[in-house]
Amino acid sequence: MKNNTLTTIIIILFICMSSVGMTQKRELGGPQKEKIESYKIAFFTRQMQLTPQEATVFWPLYNQYMESIDVQKENRRESLRDAKESLDKMSDEEVNKLIDNRLLQAETALIERKEFVTALRKVLPAKKIVQYFKAEEQFKRKLMEKMNEQKQQQRPQLNDDPY
């Protein structure tokens, strides 16, 4: 058991190191985001109970999927930024094109997710994929909680006593 744990840790470190290139490619930037990525790798690996062999096939697929999601998010942000700046000047036809584009982006995201799950089905047991879905939701929740905690700590504390 101890040897298996050591092997798992070594493989996770290897994956982390190999995913540094992916992280840089995804332009996460900053030590905070790198820390989040490292935590995500450890969290998902633990929650999904990935074996070393499963981890070596899961993480490249996941990184590829996340790259496509990041591109989609950037495109969506760009569209919304453009719309925000000129929405009042846009014709109804242009606004409808914007709506259609947003729906197309949502469809594309769904297609990407389906392709990711299809790829996972070829290399992981179905239960691990369900564990991935659970880990994904738990990670988002924990990340939001942590961000809210930090936000609360950064707010200046108001003192009731004005003197």
Task: Please write down the HEC assignment for all residues of 100-159.
Answer: HHHHHHHHHHHHHHHHHHHHHHHHCCHHHHHHHHHHHHHHHHHHHHHHHHHHHHHCCCCC
At residue 138 the predicted structure's pLDDT band, cuts being 50, 70 and 90, is very high
Please answer whether residues 102 and 79 qualify as being in contact, where contact means their C-beta atoms are separated by less than 8 angstroms.
yes
pLDDT digits (tens, 9 = 90+) for 73-92: 998 888 888 777 788 888 89
pLDDT score for 85 = 76
Q: Model-level pTM? A: 0.71
Q: How confident is the model at residue 151 (pLDDT cuts 50, 70, 90)?
A: confident
Integer-rounded Cα radius of gyration of the chain: 20
pLDDT at residue 162 in the model: 54
